[in-house]
Homo-oligomer: A and B are copies of this chain.
Amino acid sequence: MHPETRFDNYFKSAFTVDSVIFGFDEGALKILLIRRSEAPFDDYWALPGYFVRQDEDLDEAAQRTLRETTGLENVYLEQLQTFGSPGRHDFGRVITVAYYSLVKIADFTPRADGLSRDVRWHDLSALPDLAFDHNEIVGTATEKLKRSIRTRPVGFELLPPEFTLTDLQHLYEAIWETRLEKRNFRKKILSMQLLVDLERMQEGVAHRPARLYRFDEQRYQELTQEGFNFELREGKSR
A interface residues (Cβ-Cβ under 8 A, vs B): 1-3, 7, 9-15, 39, 51-58, 79, 81-82, 84-86, 90-93, 95, 97, 147, 150-151, 226-229, 233
Across-interface contacts of A228 in B (CB, < 8 A): 229
Copies of this chain present in the complex amount to 2
Least CB distance, A31 to chain B, in whole angstroms: 22
Show 21 A/B contacts (Cβ-Cβ < 8 Å), sorted by A.
A1-B90, A2-B92, A7-B51, A9-B54, A10-B14, A10-B54, A11-B91, A12-B54, A52-B84, A54-B86, A55-B86, A57-B84, A57-B85, A57-B86, A82-B97, A147-B227, A150-B226, A151-B151, A151-B229, A226-B229, A229-B229
The 5 closest A-B pairs by CB, nearest first: A2-B91, A10-B14, A151-B227, A58-B84, A10-B51
Instruction: Looking at the assembled complex, report how far the CB atom of A114 sits from the nearest CB atom of chain B, in whole angstroms.
Output: 13
> Once bound together, how far apart are the Cα atoms of A83 and B128, in whole Å?
31
Kindly state the separation between the CA atoms of A29 and B228 in the bound complex, as whole angstroms: 26
* CB within 8 Å for A150 and B227 given contacts A11-B14, A14-B11: yes
**A93 contacts which chain B residues (CB < 8 A)?**
54
Task: Give the Cβ gap from A233 to chain B, nearest Cβ, in Å.
Answer: 7
Q: How far is the CA of A150 from the CA of B57 in the complex (A)?
A: 31
A227 and chain B: residue at smallest CB distance: B151
Nearest B residue (CB) for A11: B14
- Give Cα A151 to B227, complex, Å: 7
Chain B: minimal CB distance from A209 (Å): 35
* A51 proximity list for chain B (CB < 8 A): 7, 10
Q: Which residues of B contact A233 (CB under 8 A)?
A: 226
Query: Which chain B residue has the least Cβ–Cβ distance from A95?
Result: B15
A84 proximity list for chain B (CB < 8 A): 15, 52, 57-58, 97
Nearest chain B CB to A235 CB, angstrom units: 14
- Enumerate chain B residues within 8 angstroms of A57, measured Cβ to Cβ: 84-86
